Amino acid sequence: MSWPRSQLLEIGDQTWCPAWLHQHEQFSLTRLWNLKIPGWSRGSLATQACAVVQEHLKDLSSYTILDVCAGAGGPTPVLESEINKKLESEAKEPIQFILSDLFPHREEWSRISKKKQNVTYIETPVDARAAPRVAAKGKKECRIFNICFHHFGDKDAAGILRNTIESADAFIIFEITAREVWTCLCSPLVFFWAFYVTLIWYWNSPIHLLFTFVLPIAPLAIWVDGLISCLRTRTTKEVRALLDQPGLDLSKWTFHSGQKTVQFPFITLYYYIGVKAE
């Protein structure tokens, strides 16, 4: 069951949101991408995303992948490792991954880039509505939107898709929320995830410890933002409707959508893909 979409604002989107809290939310999402629970998980969100990429993008080594709203890096490091490992086993050229965002996370991206030779980043802000083509001559370009497309209102989302159709050769939208009763009911689970993230990765940060275990501001903010994400995530039909724009040529494009269960019944990866024919 679904209901009309609401373009609400998340706490992490506000200009008054403290930098440490915004960082905590971004990092929590990054760790969630890589969460695996032995005996339960079907891979992780990131490895399932790899499966989607490999399933729908033929001749993978011909692509460059631009992570348009990369945040703190999300699943890109895992995507790079998994996909390029497979390409190497097939004696094929590795894919280059490029991180970009309107608000660049240069320090985190630099750390990732030093560990991953096939991951680079754009230091200057990149507006997703006017993102430049980054693929080298002779290469195709795929743009990925990792748990971020729901942040944009219809006007901006339509502009992003127009720019993508006109400048790239494929795109993939990944989401882990949906406007469904069950997904909304599961959203409080991220409240407890915030405690785990602080305990493991921010145990030496007084401000994180204070606003997690004494005053649970971080867990509450992540929970509220998770619920709001559910309320404004688009259905497949709504994404497709945004593509029906005057003067936008879709004649060479095919579109697919689906979902993959990661931790049943709580975490599911939803995706919407567009691929341009050669």
Residue with the two structure tokens 């940060």 = 205
Domain count, the chain: 2
> Are 78 and 4 within one domain?
no
- Quote the pLDDT of residue 1: 55
Query: CA angle 60-64-68, nearest 5°?
Result: 125
> Are 113 and 245 within one domain?
yes
Measured CA to CA, the distance from residue 84 to residue 63 in angstroms comes to: 12
Residue with the two structure tokens 């094929």 = 92
Measured CA to CA, the distance from residue 185 to residue 114 in angstroms comes to: 40
Q: At what angle do helices 189-201 and 19-33 cross, to 10 degrees?
A: 100
Q: What is the pLDDT along the chain (278 residues), one digit of tens a residue?
A: 578 998 888 999 899 999 999 989 988 998 999 999 999 999 999 999 999 999 999 889 999 999 999 988 888 998 999 899 989 999 999 999 999 999 898 999 999 999 999 999 999 999 999 999 999 999 999 999 999 999 999 999 999 999 999 999 999 999 999 999 999 999 999 999 999 999 999 999 999 999 999 999 999 999 999 999 999 999 999 999 999 999 999 999 999 999 999 999 999 999 999 999 97
> Are 62 and 161 within one domain?
yes
In a domain, 195, yes or no: yes
> Are 139 and 197 within one domain?
no
Q: What is the 3-state secondary structure (H, E, C) of 162-210?
A: HHHHHHCCEEEEEECCCCCHHHHHHCCHHHHHHHHHHHHHCCCCHHHHH
> Are 170 and 188 within one domain?
no
Strands of the chain, DSSP E: 63-67, 96-99, 119-121, 140-146, 170-175, 253-263, 267-276
> Are 143 and 242 within one domain?
yes
> Running DSSP on this structure, what letter comes out for residue 15?
T
How many residues in the chain? 278
Please classify residue 236 by burial: count the beta carbons closer than 10 Å to its beta carbon, then call 0-12 exposed, 13-18 middle and 19+ buried: middle
Give the pair of three-digit tokens for residue 150. Answer: 């729901």
Report the helix count and the strand count for the chain, using DSSP H and E: 10, 7
Q: Is residue 54 classed as helix, strand or coil in its secondary structure?
A: helix
Query: Which whole-number Å values give the CA distances from 53 to 76, 77, 103, 135, in the listed order?
Result: 12, 14, 26, 17
- Quote the pLDDT of residue 234: 96
Domain that holds residue 147: 44-179+237-276
- Quote the pLDDT of residue 73: 87
Measured CA to CA, the distance from residue 94 to residue 16 in angstroms comes to: 41
> Are 28 and 110 within one domain?
no
Q: What global pTM score does this model have?
A: 0.95
> Are 103 and 170 within one domain?
yes
